Amino acid sequence: MRGFGVWGQQLLFSRRVHAALAIGFCWIVAERAGSGEWLGKLVGCRQIRWSLPILPPEFRSSHCETASGWLAISKSIIERHMAVTRRRLLQRRPPDSNRAARTHLEGFAAYAAGECHLAENTVAAYRRDLERFVQWLDGRSIPALSIRELADYVGWLDARKLAAASIARHIVSLKVFFRYLQLEGVLRDNLAELLGSRKLWERVPKVLGVEQIERLFTAPGRSDPWWRRDRALLELLYATGCRASEISHLKLSDVHLDESYCICCGKGDKQRMVPLNSQAIEAFRAYLQAERPKLAARVSTPPDWALLSQRGKRLRRERIWELLKEYARRVGAPPEVSPHTLRHSFATHLLAGGADLRHVQEMLGHASIATTQIYTHVDLTRLKAVHRKFHPRA
């Protein structure tokens, strides 16, 4: 009975409807076994009756001092609970009309991150685009969609004043999503492949001049809370040509100041080696000696990231964007300046200095040299030199 008493008490203190039936059951066993001591404890344990909020007020009455009384109340509790459960089942909310589409979306996100090894930001972009698609579906079945309905989706995006580049990205996301559904056997044909997008004009990237960049580097001053970190951030962006997300995820172990290079992890987790100039090395060393130990001390475990936030965590790319905007405003730079502007400036200044296009492609981490060729149209000095050399009337 000792072991049964522990088990019975565990049942009694479980906040479930089963507690009512457990009490009655314990009464019968204890009464028939003749365990008067355990039975007395159960009867006298009135806090049990008050501590189970699921039990009705009848438990506080005095006639519940026999096994039959406890069993009767236990039976009524179970019946009452079953009636409530039946009512809830009958009054269930209507199912989510987009539940199937959202299930496919979650599966696609897991597939893109786990099997395709896409970058976190890429998966997040796909998810945002496809959330709009699920919103447009409004309960319709994906396999039942026609090409005309998918064309209406493009018009729906255009009606929401999305830019041509954003609409083109939404279409690409939809094509990739439908390919996944084909692999899963949900779709037989990928009708999204028939969708066309507007031709995007090839825009010449906007860059900063060398003098503007020099003024930008001096914008962080001693009045700023972490001015050495911010100056090291600006120097790294221009010295490496890295994206904001790459600088944000740059680990301290990947920065080799003595060898004058760092290892950046780009799209698709591709690593590349980028040289560091002497100004960037000096600024980063000053940050390492004066500010990073203070920031790292704000967290319990030593952080791996090279650039830390004021809370000692990884400096997010959104914060990098905000800092650059603030310092660009101080020096009078154009308001559209972003971290990618320093990347464009890095590539343009390298080509203007005579760097080979292939080397610039490697340092930028471009998969295709066609992406890098756009920078050959930015430097007017280079274009004028080519014009003077080869045009018959130059």
pLDDT tier at 394, thresholds 50, 70, 90: low
C-alpha R_g of the chain = 34
Three-state DSSP state, 21: helix
Distance CA 207, CA 375 (A): 10
Residues 6+ apart with CB under 8 A from 229: 287, 291, 292, 295, 307, 308, 315
pTM of this structure: 0.62
- Give the pLDDT of residue 370: 80
What is the average per-residue pLDDT within 232-252?
93
pLDDT tier at 54, thresholds 50, 70, 90: very low
Encode pLDDT of 107-151 as tens digits. 999 998 888 888 888 899 999 999 999 999 988 889 988 888 998
Q: For residue 145, what are its two tokens? A: 């969609």
Q: Are the C-beta atoms of 381 and 354 separated by less than 8 Å?
A: no
The β-bridge partners of 263 are 273
Q: For residue 302, what are its two tokens? A: 């030593």
Question: Cβ-count burial of 332 within 10 angstroms (0-12 exposed, 13-18 middle, 19+ buried)?
Answer: exposed
Instruction: Tell me the catalytic residues.
Output: 243, 267, 340, 343, 366, 375
Query: Hey, what long-range contacts does 105-113 have (CB within 8 A, 24 or more apart)?
Result: 105/130, 105/131, 105/134, 105/177, 107/180, 107/184, 108/177, 108/180, 108/181, 111/180, 112/176, 112/180
Q: Are the C-beta atoms of 297 and 204 separated by less than 8 Å?
A: no
* Residue, of 267 and 345, whose pLDDT is higher: 345
Distance CA 244, CA 223 (A): 24
Three-state DSSP state, 264: strand
Alpha helices for the chain (secondary structure H) = 2-13, 18-33, 36-44, 46-51, 67-90, 99-114, 120-137, 147-159, 164-183, 210-217, 227-240, 244-248, 278-290, 292-296, 317-330, 339-352, 357-364, 369-372, 380-390
Q: Could you tell me the CA-to-CA distances from 102 to 139, 183, 318, 338 in Å, in that order?
A: 11, 17, 28, 34
* Residue, of 217 and 86, whose pLDDT is higher: 217
Encode pLDDT of 11-52 as tens digits. 344 444 455 555 555 555 445 444 444 444 444 444 444 444
Distance CA 289, CA 292 (A): 7
Kindly list the structural domains of the chain, giving each domain's residue range(s) and its CATH number in brackets, ordered by start.
Answer: 2-90 (no CATH), 99-194 (1.10.150.130), 210-387 (1.10.443.10)
Distance CA 86, CA 32 (A): 35
pLDDT tier at 293, thresholds 50, 70, 90: very high
- Give the pLDDT of residue 357: 86
Q: What is the mean pLDDT of the chain?
A: 79
Provide φ and ψ at 243, rounded to 5°.
-70, 160
- Give the pLDDT of residue 295: 94
Q: How does DSSP assign 215-254, residue by residue?
A: HHHT-S-TTSTTHHHHHHHHHHHHHH---HHHHHT-BGGG
Q: For residue 91, what are its two tokens? A: 């009054």
Nearest-5° angle of CA 113, CA 114, CA 118? Answer: 35
Q: Are the C-beta atoms of 41 and 95 separated by less than 8 Å?
A: no
- Give the pLDDT of residue 365: 86
- Give the pLDDT of residue 3: 42
pLDDT tier at 55, thresholds 50, 70, 90: very low
CA atoms within 13 Å, Cβ hemisphere of 50:
4
* Residue, of 195 and 287, whose pLDDT is higher: 287
